[in-house]
A and B are shown apart, each in its own frame.
Chain A
Amino acid sequence: MNRFIRIILSVLFIGFLIPTNAFAAFGLISQKLTPPTPGPNQEVTIQLNSYNVNLNAAKIIWYIDGEAQKEGTAETSFVTRTGDFGEKKVVDVVIFAQDGTRFDKQIVLAPAEVDILWEALTYTPPFYKGKALPTYKSLVKVSALARFNTETSDPAAYYYKWTLDRNKGVGEALGKNSTVVAAAWPDSHVNVAVETSLPGTDWKGAKNLNIDSVNPQVVFYEQAPLLGIRFAQALTSGLVATGNEFTIQAAPYFFSLDNYKNGELVYEWTANRNRVLPTLDPLKLILTKSSKAAENFIVSLSVQNAKRVIQEGRGQTTVSFNAEE
C-alpha cells in the first residue's frame, strides 16, 4: 500500500516539474481573446499567457484550419478574422518551450449572430408607428435574437447571461432570451450586455449596447367630431378653429405604461393661465366659444407621474376662434 502511494506522489511531483500537453490543458498556458466573444467577420486578437512556461523563449507556430500562418520565438499573439456567420475557424497553436517540451492549444472561433432589441414599456398613442422611448425609471424589456449555425432556431435551446452596466447580473438561464431593466436619468444611459451559447457546442456570441433615456413629451391633437383624433397633424403652432367648439386631445408620450394604465399620471390643464377643472377623460379639453367676438385660448397641459416623479412633461398650444359676423 505504502509503495502504491509513493508511486502516485512521485508521478505528481514529476508532473509539476515537467510541463506536458496534459498540463497545458489544465491551464498552464491560457489564451485571451479580444474581443472575448467575437462576432462574424470581426477581427480578433489571441494572446497566449503562462506563469509556468517561459513563452518569451518558446517557439510558437500558429495554424488556421491546418495551415501554418505565423511562427517564431515569442510570437505570443496572433490576429485573425472570424468567418461569416456559420463558418467555424479552428486556430491551432504549437508551442515548443526552451527545453523542447511541446504544448498544443486549440481555439475554435464559432461566432453566432446576436442582436439586442429593446422596447420601452412607455405610452405612445394608438397607431403610432415610431418607437416608444425610455424615460427615467421606466421599464425596458431587452430581448436577444441569436442565430447559430445549427438545426435549431428555438431561442429556448440557447443559454443566455445578462449583465447591466458591465457588472450587475440581471439573470442567466437556458432559454432566458429577455430581461427587464430600469431606464436611467434623462440624457444618460444604461448598458445591457448578453452572452449566449449553444450548450454542448463551440457556438457562442455576445453583444452589448447603451439604452439612452429621454424626457416625456406632451403633444396635442384635434379631436374632430367626424374624423376622430387627427394624429397625422399635431397642434404645434396654433390653430384657427371653425365653429363654436373645439376638442383638444393630449398624448402623453413616453410616460411609464403601467402608471398610465393605473391612472397614476397627474394632469393639470390651463386655458389662458386659468386652471381648468379635470373632466372624466383627463386627456381631453373642450374649448367653447363664449361670445360672437374673436377669442384666443392659450392652452397648456402639465403631466407628472405620481409614482416616478421625475417623469414629467408639458405642452402648450393656441386655439383661436374667429369673430362671427
Chain B
Amino acid sequence: MDEQPKSKKILWIAIAAVLFALIVGGLYFMTRGGGNGPAESGTALFGDLFGGGERPVTTEETVPVTPTPNTITSDENQGEDPLFRQLSIGPTAGATEVMREGKVYVRYILRENGYVYEVDPRTGVSMQLTNTTIPRIYEASWGESGNSVVLRYLTQDPLSKKDVIKTYLAYLNLPVADTSTTLTLGTLVGDFLPDNISAVSVSPDGKRLFYLLPIPEGVSGTVVTIATKSAREIFRNSFSEWLPELLNDGSVILTTKASANIPGYSYRYTPSDKTLTRIVRDKKGLTTHANTTGSAILFGENIGGNMTLNFYSKAGFAGHEGVLSHEETLPLTTLPEKCAWAADMIHVYCGAISGTPRAQIPDDWYKGTLAFADSFWSTNIETTEIDLIGDPQKLIQRSFDVTYPFMDKNGQYFFFTNKSDSMLWVMQFPKRVQSDNSELLPPDLTPEEMKDALGSMPQATATPKK
C-alpha cells in the first residue's frame, strides 16, 4: 500500500528538479545572450565548476550615451594630431585593440570599478560599455578581439587574513547597437578560475588562455579555450616560479622569474610531446617577450648593472665565420616588457630607459621602488638599427614609465600604460615626410635601386606638436 504514495513523491521531486534546472538554465542564457559575447557552448552551464567566488555586481541602468572626453590631453593645438594622448579617464588594469570598419579603437577596464570603456585614439573620447562593478582590479588580459577579459584581483581570507588572488574570466555582454541617444549598458558575465593562480597569459589571437596554479608537487599549467571554456591541464613541473607567454600555436614560452644577479632561463614548452626546449640560458635578470609565433623573442639581460635588450631568433643567422648564431644584441637599454612587436615582426617599439640607474633591475622596477622616464625608440631586429621617435620629457614635459605596451595591426599607434599612475596613453607615430631627393639621383635607376638610394638619404620627420 505504501508503494504508490512513495513513487508519487519521487515523481513530484523529479518534476520539481527538472523545473528548477530549466529555470536556472533559462536565467543563465538570458544573462549570457546577445551582444558580442562568446558563442554559447555545452560547457557554459557548468561554468561554476571553474571555482567559486562572490559574483560581480551589475546594476540595471539605462544611461544617456555621453562620450567622456578626457580632461587631460597632451595637445593644446586642437585639430592637429598630438604625438602623445591620454586615452583612459582613470587608472586602468589593461587594454586591447579593437578593429571596427577598418578603424582602430581601444577597450580598457578601470581599476577602481571594472567598468569597460572604449576609446577612439584619434579623439581620446571614451564611451562606457559596461556597468558591472568589480572593484580594485590589478590585472586585466583581453581575449576574443576585446569581447572577453581575464580579471585578477585580491580578496582576503576571513580566517587567516591572508590575500587570495581571484581570477575571473568575463565575457562582455553588450546590447545590440541602435541609433537612439540612450543605450542600456552592457554587463560582464563569466566564471571564476581557481583561487591563487600565479600567472595568466592570453594567446595573441585571443582564443586561449594559459594559467599556472601552484600545487604541492610544484605547478600545474592549464589551457582554456575562451569561447567554450573547455580546460585541459597540459603542464606539470616541480619548479613553479615561471612567467608564461602563450603563443598562437599552443606552445608556451616559460621564463623563470627574474632577479638582477641571478641567472634566468627560458624554454619553449610544446604540449604535444611535453618537451621543454631551452631558448635562452644563464642570463642574469632575464625577462622575455616573444612575437606571436615565437620565432623571435626579445630578452633582457642585466650585464654589470645595465639592462641590455637582445633578441633570440629561432631560425638563427650566420654569425662569425659562418657559425649559426641565435642571439643578437640591440642597442637599446630597456626591458622587453617595455617593448611591443609590430605586425611585421621585424620592427619593435620600446620605451627605453634614459641613463644608468643605480638599482637592481628588474627587481626594483617590479617592486615599484624604481621608476623610469622613458624615451621612445623603434628598432629593426634584422639590421639592429634604432630610431628615436620622441622624448616626451622634451616634447610635452612629461615623463612616462612604459608598461603593457601594444601596437595596433595597422602600425599607426603605440599604446601603453604609464606605470606610475596606471593611465592609458597612446603615441601616434609621426607621419614621415619624404624629402624630394629623387632629382639628385640618376634617372635610370630601377624602383628597387631608387628605394635603396632614397633610404640612405636623410628623411625629414614631421615635428610633433607640443
Contact = CB atoms under 8 A, between A and B. Distances in A.
Partners in one complex: yes
Interface of A: 113, 115, 117, 119, 125-133, 141, 143, 145, 147, 153-155, 177-178, 209, 212, 219, 221, 226-234, 236, 251, 253, 261, 280-281
Interface residues of B, number: 50
Contact of B259 (A131, A232, A261): A131
B257 A130 contact: yes
Contact of A141 (B138, B163, B238): B238
B320 interface: no
A226 B113 contact: yes
B265 A212 contact: no
Nearest to B93: A227
Given A126-B163, A227-B136, A280-B161, A219 B239 contact: no
A141 B238 CA distance: 9
Contacts of A209: 263
Contacts of A230: 368
A153 B267 CA distance: 14
Nearest to A133: B259
Nearest to B162: A261
A120 to B, nearest CB: 9
**Chain A facing B: main interface SS:** strand
B274 interface: yes
B255 to A, nearest CB: 10
B154 interface: yes
Contact of A236 (B218, B366, B369): B369
B464 interface: no
Interface of B: 91, 111-113, 135-136, 138-139, 152-154, 160-163, 165, 218, 237-241, 243, 256-259, 261-263, 265, 267, 273-276, 278, 281, 362-363, 366-369, 371, 403, 419-422
Interface hub of A130, A155, A251, A280 (most chain B Cβ within 10 A): A130
Contacts of B363: 130-131
Nearest to A228: B136
B139 A233 contact: no
Contact of B273 (A130, A153, A178, A234): A153
Given A131-B257, A232-B419, A113 B278 contact: yes
Given A131-B258, A131-B259, A234-B367, A143 B154 contact: no
Contacts of A226: 111-113, 135-136
Contacts of B369: 219, 234, 236
A303 to B, nearest CB: 16
Contact of B366 (A115, A129, A177, A212): A129
Given A130-B258, A226-B112, A234-B368, A153 B275 contact: yes
B366 A130 contact: yes
Contacts of B91: 227
Contacts of A219: 367-369
12 contacts: A117-B241, A126-B165, A131-B258, A141-B238, A147-B276, A153-B275, A153-B276, A177-B238, A212-B262, A231-B138, A234-B367, A234-B368
Top 7 nearest A-B pairs by Cβ distance? Answer: A228-B136, A226-B112, A131-B259, A234-B368, A143-B239, A130-B366, A178-B238
A228 B243 contact: no
A227 B112 contact: yes
Contacts of B160: 261
A248 to B, nearest CB: 13
Contact of A130 (B152, B239, B278, B367): B367
B239 A178 contact: yes
Given A131-B363, A132-B257, A212-B261, 14 more contacts: A113-B278, A115-B265, A119-B240, A127-B138, A127-B165, A130-B258, A132-B241, A143-B237, A145-B265, A153-B274, A177-B238, A227-B422, A228-B153, A229-B154
Contacts of B163: 125-126
Contacts of B267: 145
A145 B239 contact: yes
A283 to B, nearest CB: 9
A226 B114 CA distance: 11
Nearest to B153: A228
A16 B401 CA distance: 78
Contact of B281 (A115, A130, A212, A281): A115
Contact of A227 (B111, B237, B259): B111
B367 A127 contact: no
Contacts of B258: 129-131
B253 to A, nearest CB: 15
A217 to B, nearest CB: 8
A127 B371 CA distance: 18
A130 B362 contact: yes
